[in-house]
Structure 1
Amino acid sequence: MRTVAVLRSAGFTLVELMVTVAMLAILIALAAPSFQSLLSGLQVSNTAFALVSDLTLARNEAVKRGTNVQLAPGVASDWSQGWTVSVPSPATTLRQQASTGHGVNFLNAPASITFGADGRSTGVAVYKFNLTNGSSKNVCVSLDPSGLPRTASRAC
């Protein structure tokens, strides 16, 4: 009499695969809110970085050109809709920042900032921008009288 060896095939059964997919779906569902919060916080940080970059550009251009350079919101005093760096006379736009996207709010932002030929900001002694996503992330961008921007991970 002959014996036939039963070969067991390697791999996963359908039940094992379904259980694994279900567990993965549960883990993703639990991680999604944290991931959204992370992305929102990164958007605030990136906007603060762009603002500091343009404040520095405006200051450097004012010194280089020996004239006033202005940083102002692009649309109706709403900094979250973008901003421009420009030379008032003759009217020349040096850089235009697009909208920051949804979720980044500017609180207590100044109407505009002008840098003089010496690189100092004119007007108010200290300018402050409070950038927030409304819940968990705040970044304070401040500009001291010498024209140097600083950031802090807190509300202003």
Structure 2
Amino acid sequence: MNACANNLSLKRQNTSSGFTLIELMVTIAVLAIIVSIAAPNISTQLANQRVKSTAATFANALKEAKVESVIRRQNVEVIYNANATPKTLTLRANSNNIAIYNINSKSSVTPTINPSSVTSIVFRPDKTIANGATVLYTVCDSGSNSETARQVSLSRIGNVDTKNAGRC
């Protein structure tokens, strides 16, 4: 069996073996429909991931501050600066920066229980918070219409907990 082009009939040799314009347009239309269905879900997933990431960063910074205060045997302050670009969480001991965490610009962190403590929390070497108050932060995403929120709670003895709760 020889499959070379010379053995094909004249009519088959003159026809193209590509796709027609109609076939290409139908394929593009189907792809457009699939993308239009999937796009809102992808946007929501990205917003959820930003909220998770910001909550984890916030919780890790608080945990690190608690540990650093015990190790250094001095007060460690966590300072949240929402006005900076990018938003930052700074860990500071004796006016020296220990660590700086950047927070996604589309994320917002708001205090729920103790509004005065959103900008600064001081951990003492005895594993407690300086003002002794329970603090609850709600992390939201301003980049989408998603109502997904996570809460980071900080107890009087400095325990940090993250959960899916709250409203944006």
Band of TM-score, shorter chain: 0.7 to 0.9
Residue 137 of structure 2 corresponds to 129
The one-character-per-residue Cα deviations of 1:83-136 (angstroms, maximum 9, x if unpaired) are 20110x2x110111224212x222225231111011221214311101112542
The separation in 2 between residues aligned to 1:117 and 1:71, in whole angstroms, is 14
Tell me if 1:18 matches 2:25: yes
Tell me if 1:105 matches 2:108: yes
Aligned equivalent of 1:92, options 84, 96, 103 = 96
Q: Alpha carbon RMSD of aligned pairs, Å?
A: 2.4
The separation in 1 between residues aligned to 2:141 and 2:81, in whole angstroms, is 20
Residue 80 of structure 2 corresponds to 73
Contact 2:54 2:103 in 1 (8 A): no
The separation in 1 between residues aligned to 2:30 and 2:82, in whole angstroms, is 47
Greater CA radius of gyration, 1 or 2? Answer: 2
Residue identity over aligned pairs, in percent, reads 27
Say if 1:65 and 1:12 are closer, same or farther in 2 by CA, change over 3 A: same
Report the Cα offset of residue 60 of structure 1: 0.6
Deviates more, 1:8-17 or 1:28-37: 8-17
Contact 2:91 2:98 in 1 (8 A): yes
The separation in 2 between residues aligned to 1:11 and 1:132, in whole angstroms, is 51
Tell me if 1:152 matches 2:163: yes
Residue 4 of structure 2 corresponds to none
Report the Cα offset of residue 15 of structure 1: 1.6
The separation in 2 between residues aligned to 1:75 and 1:33, in whole angstroms, is 28
Contact 2:132 2:157 in 1 (8 A): no
- How many residues align structurally? 149
- Larger relative helix fraction: 2
Aligned equivalent of 1:46, options 53, 56, 63 = 53
Say if 1:116 and 1:4 are closer, same or farther in 2 by CA, change over 3 A: closer
What TM-score comes out, normalization by structure 1 length?
Answer: 0.83
Gaps of 5+ in 2: 1-7
The separation in 2 between residues aligned to 1:143 and 1:21, in whole angstroms, is 52
Aligned equivalent of 1:142, options 153, 156, 161 = 153
